[in-house]
Amino acid sequence: MPAVRLKPVSDQVIVVTGASSGIGLATCEAAAQAGAKVVMTARNREALADAQARLTASGAMVEIVVADIADPDATDRIAAAAIARFGRIDTWVNNAAAAPVGRVVDTPIDDQRRVFDVGYWGTVRGSVTALAHLKDHGGAIINVGSIESDRAVILQATYSAMKHAVKGFTDAFRTEVEADGLPVSVTLIRPAAIHTPFPEHARNFTGHPITLPPVIYDPRLVARAIVFAAANPRRGLSIGGTGVLGTALAQHFPRLTDLMLERFGEALQTFDKAPPADRADNLWEPRTDAVDSRQDAYVRTHSVWLEAQLRPWLAVGLTGAAAVAGLAVARIAGRKRSVGN
């Protein structure tokens, strides 16, 4: 295992793709608040400029790069802009993604290919470009996968397949980096359902308004995990205990999971009414961006599972406390049985 060299976040230059909305925008905000110099890249020039103005007003140093990550030369242009402005790169976050929602037979192949051009090939190119700049002085490459990296979901076949590919690439890429003894950490982030503009941005082939299945988590939790991984080597981090439980169920009981998705999967992702008149998505063109979805939903702002990963000593302590409590209950029960006899 190589000696990974990561700086404190406050001393870092962090590149974030897909930075104009959702997890990407939340990550830029969290990194800037922690004192990092941030390079934000996405297609939406107006959203990037607004974010830059807002973060700069709070004292942050921010560079923006308007680019479609699916373009073959995009990552080289992004890296060149980062070097020109800040002189180096310390962490590269591959977050950009796009998605259709609907049955495979209803989803054009060109749209499916676009999902891979953005989410998979953008991640591959970003990782290779980042490694060229990090291999000598160290740093972190952080790829945003999904709970769907482990279990495909009905109506999201293309997105699930892309996230499976991101996981497969990240795991193999990590072993190559480690085998070469490079001081670079490679982390896979696996969020559950997150309250981003995914329902507004996904191309909808269902004939109904789409939503995310509960439980839904705050994008800022994912941003916290990403910023943590920028300074602390981790193989992977998952956000949302319900998603982790769901994938564990799928691994041990795959056929039962199939049947559950067949019975409830579509209903949990759609509303039973006509789709809205404004059905614009961002698969091919940028749209209105924000950190959070406009949909009204209960959003969890804490994840015990994430905290346990960020602070393993807390997880050990909680496990120990639970064990002690269990022994105490068993002893009390044993005494009551003795008295009863």
167 alpha carbon, distance to own chain's centre: 12
Pair 38, 16: CB distance under 8 Å: yes
Active site residue 159: yes
- Report how far apart, in Å, the C-alpha atoms of 338 and of each of 16, 87, 102 are: 63, 74, 61
Other residues' Cβ atoms within 10 Å of the Cβ of residue 264: 12
Nearest-CA neighbor of 204 among 270, 250, 150? 270
* CB within 8 Å of 317: residues ≥ 6 apart: none
The encoded tokens of residue 144 equal 């945003």
| Rounded distance between C-alpha atoms, residue 292 and residue 298, angstroms | 12
| Rounded distance between C-alpha atoms, residue 341 and residue 336, angstroms | 9
| Rounded distance between C-alpha atoms, residue 291 and residue 312, angstroms | 29
Pair 67, 78: CB distance under 8 Å: yes
Burial class from Cβ neighbours inside 10 Å (0-12, 13-18, 19+) for residue 308 reads: middle
| Rounded distance between C-alpha atoms, residue 251 and residue 232, angstroms | 29
Catalytic site residues? Answer: 159
